[in-house]
Amino acid sequence: MEFIDIGGYMIALGMVFGMLPNLILHIILRKEKDRIAWHIIYNAPEKSKVVLGRLIFWNMSWVFSSTVIYTWLGLLLAKVFNRSTLKDARVWHQSIKESYGKWRYLVYVMQFGFNFFFAGAIIFFIANALKS
């Protein structure tokens, strides 16, 4: 099995484990969207509040965009562009846990799936570039 195949399988599995919980949470929590979104925005670092508000309310998948800090790519972008510290990220994580309540474990599964997807995409593109 080549790295391109492994990357492709990781992308496919990541999308399943990322999109299915996202869809479930989107349907179940649609009535609580404003409460969850405003709680997360209120507890976000000062530098990120405006961007996060736009990301949540302008994005069709508000569940993913409200928990994007759980992906390693989202954490990296927050650190680089907003100069957020790890302490800010921990406070943000805690507010997300409080906002989603009993559904937070499904959020963890969703973000694990998207992290798996991003890792698979990197493996796939690097293996494809090295092959040619």
Q: What is the pLDDT of residues 17-62, one digit of tens each?
A: 999 999 999 999 999 999 999 998 898 888 778 888 888 888 778 8
| Residue bearing the bigger pLDDT, 35 or 87 | 35
Domain that holds residue 24: 3-131
Domain count, the chain: 1
**Which tokens hold the place of 129?**
């570039």
Burial letters 29-54, b for 16+ CB under 10 A, else e = beeeeeebbebbbebbbeebeeebbe
Least confident of 12-16, 52-56, 99-103, 115-119: 52-56
pTM: 0.84
Percent of the chain whose predicted confidence (pLDDT) is above 90: 48
- What residues contact residue 22 under an 8 Å CB cut-off, 6+ apart? 61, 63, 64, 110
Interval 110-128: pLDDT, tens: 999 999 999 999 999 999 8
